Chains A and B, each alone.
Chain A
Amino acid sequence: MDMNEIKEIFFQECEEQLAELESGLLKLNDGDRDPETVNAVFRAVHSIKGGAGAFGLDDLVSFAHVFETTLDCVRSNKLEPTQDVLKVMLKSADVLADLTNAARDGGSVDEARSRTLIRELEALAHGETHAAEPAAPKPVAAAPKPAEPAPVVAKPEVNDEGFQPIPFSFGDFDEEPAAKYVPTCQIVFRPNRELYAKGNEAVLLLRDLSRLGEMSVYCDMDRLPPLDKMNPEEAYFSWKMSVTTDKGEDGVRSVFEFAEWDCELDVRTIEEEVTGEAADDDEPPMQAVPFDLSLLEDGPAVSGDEEPVVSESDATAAIAAADTASKVAQVASRAAENAKAAAAATAAQASQASAAGQTIRVDLDRVDRLINLVGELVINQAMLSQSVVENDNNGVSSINMGLEELQQLTREIQDSVMAIRAQPVKPVFQRMARTVREIADITGKSVRLITEGENTEVDKTVIDKLAEPLTHMIRNAVDHGLEMPEKREALGKNPEGTVRLTAKHRSGRIVIELADDGAGINREKVRQKAIDNDLIAADANLSDEEIDNLIFHAGFSTADKVSDLSGRGVGMDVVKRSIQALGGRISISSKPGQGSVFTMSLPLTLAVLDGMVVTVAGQTLVVPLTAIVETLQPEASAIHSFGASQRLISIRNSFCPLVDVGRILNFRATQANPIEGVALLVESEGGGQRALMVDAIQGQRQVVIKSLEANYTHVPGIAAATILGDGRVALILDVDAVVAASRGQPLRQDISLAATG
């Protein structure tokens, strides 16, 4: 793995963190005051900052830092997460997302916006400081507290300057001009027992120190009690060292960076002449002790390490052994109740761990390959069943029984594999929250987005393709649907409008509803517009529902002024088409003054399809079940000729063009006799109905979709292919294309070439 791959992981992780951030903020917005929610939000920003720092993404780091600081105020209860505060934070989350995207894909962010937010965030963090001051007379906690010595520490005067990280870099000293003489540092080092308890080790410190320059060590063992009074965990030794080094006192202190707190440390630089004077003191004489580093390198444990340090002195071996023993004992001994408490805690945590769901990340290609193979398996199983049935005249055999079980098993495998691709709609719903915020901001409306059923799962492809139509619909709902706050108030409504986005499973499909509590469809206006645009006759008698559905017609927009938001050249017709491209349907119901509800019903997967298997001119075709409204057996009296070759069928007092599928697809040269066939009433993209003529219906079946483009080439009028139980390839009809062709637009190869190219 190289840095680029890690960076890729970082951005993936950012996306997750951003989603986490947003959902956390929204929970807070809904009044959730669970500290864990605040923590999760904080962690999300913190993680992004941490990773961004590693990759030198400075813009991201600095914004995340300000954001994090403000969140920290919320986390420490210094800042109340009011609606106003959360508004700023949600916007900040959006900017953070923009910055992340900019860092990944290049491009720029709205700098003015992020600067404004940085100011607002800082104001929140500072505002809290001022507000908090009267209550808390002490300076705010941001000031570093003086280091509190741990209770066990014997001499508290050691070091109360707190932990200042001392940059440990030898490069810092490179620029110093080479001194004529190298100064010597005299160090007194007296570790407390805490130093060992925290996993620091005196011998390692001495080792590091010896690397600074020539060093002599004196070990002070005066405090060592007799063996029977010795506490194995106590620190009895102290050391005096002198190091001749050009790293200076700072260099020496940086060696003790981690240990400073748990020891007495005195570092002094002495001039060379002074060394002589110091020697005259009644201090114990310094004796040079060879410090053998090689022993450290391979030393299996701490024990034995110290021996070389002191072995030169007489009578110290026993003491060193004793000290060594203390280290060993340190590992072994501890009160039993402590162990029990720890065990209990670990057990509790373990159970918590098992409660959290475990996941693995898998390359999508692998999943798709598996899905493909399972598709093959299903087909193979169907073929096998069929040939067994054909060859087994008795009808009952153990093979048949086994086959039934196999069939059940394959179906289960297929379902489970499909479930792998299923993802909750949550990420898309979360993106909608941002859309709502932005539009609410621009339009000056106050909107609350409520989402339900975010964990409803659907195929990943469906999710990916859902975002765009949904965004557009939300824009419409806020921009056109909801009234301005003043108007809402005047109408006795809550000035804050509500947009409700829900997802649920219903009979093997996912149903997504988008409801607003706005004005509803202005039917008079829609009707007038439709008349103006020649969509309907001026005297057409339309039901309310029919009028509502007019908004799905191409190029239809009721807003008098095309606003900046919804006027992006995309109408509800495009929304409808993209939903249909996913094998879905969309409908609207509206109540004047109470709002509108858009209902979308989508297949759970794009890999299998419920189809009606039909015969046309000897060919087997599959018609997607979602397209079919009803099937009927035409009677001679219902068929009416129209023009040169057109025919209509009358269904319950309305006329519907009759389309011969075999003729359109060039399966036959002349039109079939409608009376001998079956009509499938289908609804096409324009909303109009057509009756598709086929010769016979074989039955309904779930089929595995195989791409024609990938295996052959695009065929006009055909959406895809599948393999039937008898092993034959059946084509899946592209209903919209066939209907369009029936309107006189021939199925053109060049369009399909463009599509495949």
Chain B
Amino acid sequence: MKKKVLTVDDSRTIRNMLLVTLNNAGFETIQAEDGVEGLEVLETSNPDVIVTDINMPRLDGFGFIEGVRRNEKFRAIPILVLTTESDAEKKNRARQAGATGWIVKPFDPTKLIDAIERVTA
């Protein structure tokens, strides 16, 4: 069975890159444009893993992760954070919010797939 990935990113460019990369690697991909939509989509999509950006309008990545971790049904889903910030502070915040791991942007396809493989069975 295909693994299902939910990506949350406000940038159309990044969304498309994720889509192409993930589809080519044989994942099923669902996309949301910000944290609010991400939480909505989560309810109906039941993904195996989530990839989310940090800087987003309406609800940022931190808030989104916290939202997922508070969610009774979905709080055990692994969440990878896409981040251009390589500084530790951002990562700490993401970790504290409940992120499973991270991918430093700009990502290359292997790194992305590798990270997803690492957190999923």
Instruction: Report A's interface with B, CB cutoff 8 A.
Output: 1-3, 5-6, 9-10, 12-13, 39-40, 42-43, 46-47, 49-51, 53-54, 56, 141-142, 144-145, 147-148, 150, 162-165, 168, 196-201, 203-204, 208, 257-258, 261, 296, 299, 301-302, 305, 327, 330-331, 334, 338-339, 341-342, 345-346, 349-350, 352-353, 356
Bound complex: CA A302 to CA B19 (Å): 26
Given A6, A46, A168, which contacts B20 in the complex, CB threshold below 8 Å? A6
With contact pairs A144-B87, A163-B88, A163-B92 given, residues A204 and B101 touching in the complex (Cβ less than 8 Å): no
Bound complex: CA A296 to CA B36 (Å): 33
With contact pairs A49-B84, A53-B106, A349-B36 given, residues A201 and B119 touching in the complex (Cβ less than 8 Å): yes
State whether A13 touches B121 (Cβ < 8 A).
Answer: no
State whether B98 touches A197 (Cβ < 8 A).
Answer: yes
Query: Which residue of chain B is the closest to A349 with respect to CB atoms?
Result: B36
Bound complex: CA A339 to CA B67 (Å): 10
State whether B102 touches A204 (Cβ < 8 A).
Answer: no
Query: Which residue of chain A is the closest to B86 with respect to CB atoms?
Result: A165
B39 at the interface (CB under 8 A from A): yes
With contact pairs A13-B12, A54-B105, A258-B119 given, residues A198 and B98 touching in the complex (Cβ less than 8 Å): yes
With contact pairs A53-B106, A165-B104, A200-B100 given, residues A352 and B58 touching in the complex (Cβ less than 8 Å): yes
Query: Which residue of chain B is the closest to A350 with respect to CB atoms?
Result: B40
Most chain A beta-carbon neighbours within 10 Å: one of B19, B70, B98: B70
State whether A43 touches B91 (Cβ < 8 A).
Answer: no
Residues of A within 8 A of B118 (CB): 204, 208, 258
The 25 listed contacts between A and B (C-beta, < 8 Å) are A1-B16, A6-B16, A6-B20, A12-B12, A42-B55, A46-B84, A47-B11, A50-B14, A56-B106, A144-B87, A148-B96, A162-B88, A162-B91, A165-B102, A198-B98, A199-B100, A199-B119, A201-B78, A258-B101, A258-B119, A302-B121, A331-B75, A346-B67, A352-B36, A353-B36
- CB contacts under 8 Å to A, within B26-67, are 35-37, 39-40, 43, 55-59, 67
Residues of A within 8 A of B114 (CB): 168
State whether A163 touches B106 (Cβ < 8 A).
Answer: no
Known: A50-B84, A53-B106, A299-B121. 16 other contacts (CB 8 A): A3-B20, A10-B12, A13-B12, A54-B106, A56-B106, A150-B96, A165-B102, A197-B75, A200-B78, A204-B118, A334-B72, A350-B40, A352-B36, A353-B37, A353-B40, A353-B58
State whether B92 touches A341 (Cβ < 8 A).
Answer: no
Interface of A, secondary structure class, is: helix
Given A6, A327, A350, which contacts B36 in the complex, CB threshold below 8 Å? A350
Given A51, A198, A296, which contacts B99 in the complex, CB threshold below 8 Å? A198
With contact pairs A331-B75, A342-B72 given, residues A145 and B92 touching in the complex (Cβ less than 8 Å): yes
State whether B17 touches A54 (Cβ < 8 A).
Answer: yes
Bound complex: CA A257 to CA B99 (Å): 12
- Number of CB contacts from chain A to chain B under 8 A: 158
Most chain B beta-carbon neighbours within 10 Å: one of A12, A141, A204: A204
Bound complex: CA A203 to CA B111 (Å): 21
Interface size on B, residues (CB 8 A): 55
Residues of B within 8 A of A353 (CB): 36-37, 40, 58
Instruction: Report B's interface with A, CB cutoff 8 A.
Output: 10-14, 16-17, 19-20, 35-37, 39-40, 43, 55-59, 67, 69-73, 75-79, 84, 86-89, 91-92, 95-96, 98-102, 104-107, 111, 114, 118-121
State whether B17 touches A6 (Cβ < 8 A).
Answer: yes
Question: What 3 pairs between A and B have smallest CB-CB spacing?
Answer: A258-B101, A199-B78, A53-B106
Given B67, B79, B106, B111, which contacts A199 in the complex, CB threshold below 8 Å? B79
With contact pairs A46-B84, A50-B105 given, residues A9 and B89 touching in the complex (Cβ less than 8 Å): no
Residues of A within 8 A of B99 (CB): 198
Bound complex: CA A200 to CA B99 (Å): 9
With contact pairs A1-B16, A204-B119, A350-B40 given, residues A334 and B75 touching in the complex (Cβ less than 8 Å): yes
State whether A261 touches B95 (Cβ < 8 A).
Answer: yes
Residues of A within 8 A of B69 (CB): 197-198
State whether A47 touches B59 (Cβ < 8 A).
Answer: no
Bound complex: CA A12 to CA B12 (Å): 9
Given A144, A296, A345, which contacts B67 in the complex, CB threshold below 8 Å? A345
Bound complex: CA A168 to CA B79 (Å): 18
Query: Which residue of chain B is the closest to A348 with respect to CB atoms?
Result: B36
Bound complex: CA A56 to CA B108 (Å): 11
Bound complex: CA A145 to CA B91 (Å): 11
With contact pairs A54-B105, A342-B72 given, residues A9 and B59 touching in the complex (Cβ less than 8 Å): no
Bound complex: CA A513 to CA B12 (Å): 35
With contact pairs A150-B96, A200-B119, A353-B37 given, residues A9 and B13 touching in the complex (Cβ less than 8 Å): yes
